[in-house]
Amino acid sequence: MSDYVRDLLVRGIAAAKTNDPKDREEARYYLNRVLRAADAASDQKVKAWLWLSQIEDDPVKKRDCLENVLAIDPADPLARRGLAILEGRLDTHDVIDPARLPPTPIEPAAGARRYVCPQCGGKLVYAADKRSLVCGYCGNTLTEYQALQQGALVQEQDFTATLPTARAHRWELAARRAVRCEGCGAAFTLPPTQLSGDCPFCGSAHVVVIAAGRDLIQPDGVLPFQFDAEAARRHIRAWIDRQKFRPGDLDERAAVPTPRGVYLPCWTFDLGGQLTWHAQIYEERFGRKGYYPRSDLYLVYHNDLIVPATHSIPKAHLDDILDYDTRALVPYSIELLADRAAEIYQVSLADASLVARQRALEAGRRDVQRKTLAGEQIKDFQMNSLGLIIESYKLALLPVWIGAYRYRGAAYEVVVNGQTGTTAGDVPRKGWQKALAGLLD
């Protein structure tokens, strides 16, 4: 990086920052000289194109500048954001400074809708096989809802257009929300993270309707439960029987009560791009053996990479049951939550996107070391995610059965994937049993 090019860039940026029409020509002069300089580095050209896009009024010329940035660095966030604004996918008034979020709304939530059978007043539940609401007492089916859902698709959301807004950086809600039952008239409260619940007096289901101005992201899809509580209990029993290095009488003495079904919020991300890796590889070159540098690109694509948005379940357990098939998602409708408790997300979109990037990076690192560099002696392996691009996201409510079995007076938490039946949880092991079980994990 020459001092000459650096000086041209500094002069061009200074002139562009004044926002004075008289200085724009001066800014163009210096920035274009940066772009023509033979020894200009890629990051200097990126900055020059970005600042040129700021001083252009013609949308065609502005787009050309931004596309030139993306030709050098496809993952550049400022250029991608600029195109989102230019294309009308992002309103400049919605762009915020993440370090200075607007105050969290504290007004009470909008009302709650009650779901009972119009024929007999019984509680409605969602039947996954029929994709409809069915009365658990008289069997009445709401076919109107079934017709509404037929053939619908769950939409992906634009990540670039959402990330700069307040909605991507917050999840906070008011403390507790008061709900008045539409059936018996009783008043009851829901915890701040709970989206649905039953009236404790008459048992009818209620789902909170979140006001649009709350700066919260509404779920895009729901993955319905595929089996009932008794089947979930059998999955827990089978899981206990499969555990190794545990007390011999665990399967006989473990008391497994009926678990409760909950919809947990999860973010899904579509991301791709390339990861750059560098390492020292032990090999022979020119008749001499030693460690020599090697680098390459690793291409990445993940469709619906799942990042949990809840703190209600230990991370170790939740990560073990994330084998959901998100192709089974149906479009979100509050009717789907009529028979199950549901949580509001507790991890913001922005924070979850960082987790997604880290998971993609770790998966790429493992793949390169186990396949590309299999059998090699390596040291100083490094990989970065600068070329990783998150294109879209969804907020999905995924089904989980939560329970706790008792053994010799103590309770041990266990969770079951409500779609696949995959189970994870705590096992009562002694010191040597924990060590042996850890070696096999």
Give the pLDDT band (50/70/90) at residue 243.
Answer: confident
- Collapsing DSSP to helix, strand or coil, 377 comes out as coil
Mean pLDDT of 45-52: 94
Instruction: Identify which has the larger pLDDT, 141 or 222.
Output: 222
Residue of 313, 314, 109 whose CA lies nearest to 192: 109
Whether the pLDDT of residue 105 is over 60: the answer is: no
**Which ranges constitute the DSSP H helices of 179-338?**
229-242, 250-253, 315-319
Residue of 318, 273, 305, 338 whose CA lies nearest to 114: 338
Q: Where are the beta strands (DSSP E) in 93-168?
A: 112-115, 124-127, 132-135, 157-158
Give the pLDDT band (50/70/90) at residue 174.
Answer: very low
Tokens found for residue 271: 């991301």
Residue with structure tokens 């949880």? 425
Q: DSSP assignment, residue 270? A: E
pLDDT in the model for residue 200: 60
Task: Round to whole Å and give the CA distance between 298 and 387.
Answer: 10
Tokens found for residue 334: 């509050």
pLDDT in the model for residue 184: 62
Say how many C-beta atoms besides its own lie within 10 A of residue 205's C-beta: 23
Say how many C-beta atoms besides its own lie within 10 A of residue 325's C-beta: 10
Whether the pLDDT of residue 35 is over 60: the answer is: yes
Residue of 119, 110, 169, 170 whose CA lies nearest to 141: 119
Residue of 273, 360, 263, 339 whose CA lies nearest to 308: 263
Whether the pLDDT of residue 312 is over 50: the answer is: yes
Give the pLDDT band (50/70/90) at residue 275.
Answer: very high
- 208 touches 143 (CB < 8 A): no
pLDDT in the model for residue 332: 84
Compute the Cα dihedral for 205, 211, 214, 217 and give only its sign: positive
Whether the pLDDT of residue 281 is over 90: the answer is: yes
Contacts within 8 Å (CB) and 24+ apart, 100-103? 101/166, 101/169, 101/170, 102/166, 102/215
Type of residue numbered 43 = D
Crossing angle, helix 3-17 and helix 21-36, to 10 degrees?
Answer: 160
Instruction: Identify which has the larger pLDDT, 289 or 133.
Output: 289
pLDDT in the model for residue 257: 92
